[in-house]
Amino acid sequence: MKNLPIKCIASAGLLFCAPACDLNEFPEDTASSVAVFSSKNGLELYSASFYDILPGATSGVFAVDNNSDIVARTGVDVRFSPNALSPTTSSGWEWEDLRNINFFIENCEKSAVPEKLHYLGLAHFFRAYFYFEKVKRFGDVPWIDKVVEVDDDATLYGPRTNRFEVMEHVLADLSYAIEHISLTDDPSRTLITKNVARAYKTRICLYEASIRKYHADYNKQETANEWYREVVNAANGITGFSLHQGATAYRDLFIQKTPFQDETILCIALSAELKIYSSINRSTISPTYGDRPSLTRRFINTYLKLDGTPFTGYQEPFASEVKNRDLRLKQTIRLGDYKRTENGVSVAAPPSLEQSYTGYQIIKGCYDERIPYDDENLNDNAHIIMRWAEVLLNKAEALAELGEMTNTEWAATIGALRARAGITGTTLTTMPAVADPYMVEFYNSKFTNPALLEIFRERAVEMALEGRRPDDLIRWRVAELFEEAPMNGMYVPALGDYDLNEDGKPDVCFYQGAKPASTASVFVNVSEGQSRTLRGGTSGEISYFPGNREWLDKKYLYPIPEADRVKNPALGQNPGW
């Protein structure tokens, strides 16, 4: 832990430290630091630096699910590629953000500024956020709640703290934040408010509860319900939010420059004027840039029909299988009636097998305009990182795990989400009594509770491509799906041309051997040895091979980077590494 660089905080043009200062070199009480901690403006300026911990605009949360069981993408992430992840390739053992927070807390506690408790609340929130991310990645980590002095060898070269003890500290920091943050509403949805802290508490506590319940090797199952209870209590304390409504509400949420205040709890605001952009269009749609992510057929099959019943026509071709389905499907991927804008003209835009490996081409969060967004990193739509729908899902799962889900709670959570998606029937008001066999198989028969499986279905559909899926597989201890889940695509009855949007013109031609004569706009060679083949040879689902994938249980935790272990041997190493 020694000799780690610290982020430098600038305030009113004054620097607290030089760019290369270390973990054990803390800023002195200079005139500049005294000025900062003696005024509300100073505290506000300093605490603004904490926001850099949140997901950035460039990559953001939209790319996280690319490394999951529901997305086919270019290549294989280092975590799942055989022999790629090791102590020498591991990363993430950085502590400068924590040092920045602890320095603020120590000095702010001494401040005479009347509003200091609010800013202390912010600091405790961000410390909880920081440690949650570290525990997810490494398990046991050193708990440090002070500025480390140069001669404090016990801290600098000490061992890691048990992850469960760290998470108790995280819970205490979250509770402190909720009690002391004074801001209750922020129309921009970019600031940490009391409700934001509560919402994150539902996310963090749900993760911890699941780890304690499903990772039996920790022997913490008897404590899981305490954390599920924290989820419910935190969710019940949130006020002022609702699901955004309308026929296209789900898609509209993610393409607004100014976020909808009713559902958005926290976002990263982008700005063309300030030249702050994301690359979501380019990373998602370009055939030559980014991961080229597309959803898998295995996942598409989990979308309900509009009447609330499961989809069972597993061998239907694309044009028919996507009809009369949960409206979120057509607001997440291109269906036959999807159109884009090119030079101000609306044009038909069926799924492109040139850009999408499986044919289930993503549009969630992407502008419909092709130019310039597909070719350059110029997206300026707000980047949502927490919304009301997730809180409802977190609460629903916690209630089901506690055995306290009722039809009334079901209607207010899962039923409300499905109603917004155009689904009808008893599924809106009544908990299921029988488990869907497809969902049982989907999770390798590890879950059989009907209500819980439907919550899992709803969570994956509602939160797809919002960065929650990998954490869900980890906490439920079904991470083998990172390796085993098929990267499958559209069902192709036979080689030849297919009209995906039923306008009378062929959109794609599947062939083997020599390229045939066709007027299709895209040709896909599914010959043996290609990255895409058909499961039945000349018919069947598209089977995409991104490269060898591997899951080993030791990968539930990343290894401690070797360079950091050399500096501090007391850190030890995670099991299996």
Return the closest-CA partner of residue 192 out of 262, 104, 124: 124
How do strand 522-525 and strand 508-511 relate by DSSP bridges? Answer: parallel
Examine the pLDDT at 33 and tell me if it is beyond 90. no
Helix H, strand E, coil C: the string for 504-553 is CCCCEEEECCCCCCCCCCEEEECCCCCCEEECCECCEEEEECCCCCCCCH
- Return the SS3 of 383: strand
C-beta neighbour count of 444 within 10 angstroms:
12
Percent of the chain with pLDDT over 70: 94
> What average pLDDT does the segment 120-134 reach?
98
Note the maximum CA span of the chain: 80
Per-domain residue ranges for the chain? 1-56+79-177
Which pLDDT band, with edges at 50, 70 and 90, does 109 fall under?
very high
Mean of pLDDT values over 270-281: 92
Nearest of 18, 9, 1, 6 to residue 152 by alpha carbon: 1
For a pLDDT cut of 90, what percent of the chain falls above it? 89
The pLDDT score that the predictor gives to residue 32 is 65
pLDDT at 56: 82
Is residue 239 pLDDT above 80, yes or no?
A: yes
Decide: residue 114, CB within 10 A, 0-12 exposed, 13-18 middle, 19+ buried. exposed
The separation between CA 247 and the C-alpha centre of its own chain, rounded to angstroms, equals 25
Position 553 scores a pLDDT of 98
CATH code of 1-56+79-177, in short, is 1.25.40.890
Q: For all residues of the chain together, what is the average pLDDT?
A: 93
Return the pLDDT at 59: 64
361 contacts 294 by C-beta, under 8 angstroms:
yes
CA–CA dist 522, 542 (Å, integer): 15
Residue 23's pLDDT is what?
39
The answer, yes or no, to whether residue 425 has pLDDT greater than 90, is yes
Confidence tier at 361 by pLDDT (50, 70, 90): very high
pLDDT in tens, 279-317: 999 999 988 888 999 999 999 999 999 999 999 877 899
- CA nearest neighbour of 551 among 469, 477, 484: 484
Cα(419)–Cα(424) distance, integer angstroms: 7
Would you say 466 and 365 are in contact if contact means Cβ atoms under 8 Å apart? no
Nearby residues of 9 by Cβ (< 8 Å), 6 or more positions away: 15, 16, 46, 49, 100
pTM as predicted? 0.94
The average pLDDT across 354-381 equals 95
User: Helix, strand or coil for residue 339?
Assistant: strand
CA atoms within 13 A on the CB side of 81: 11
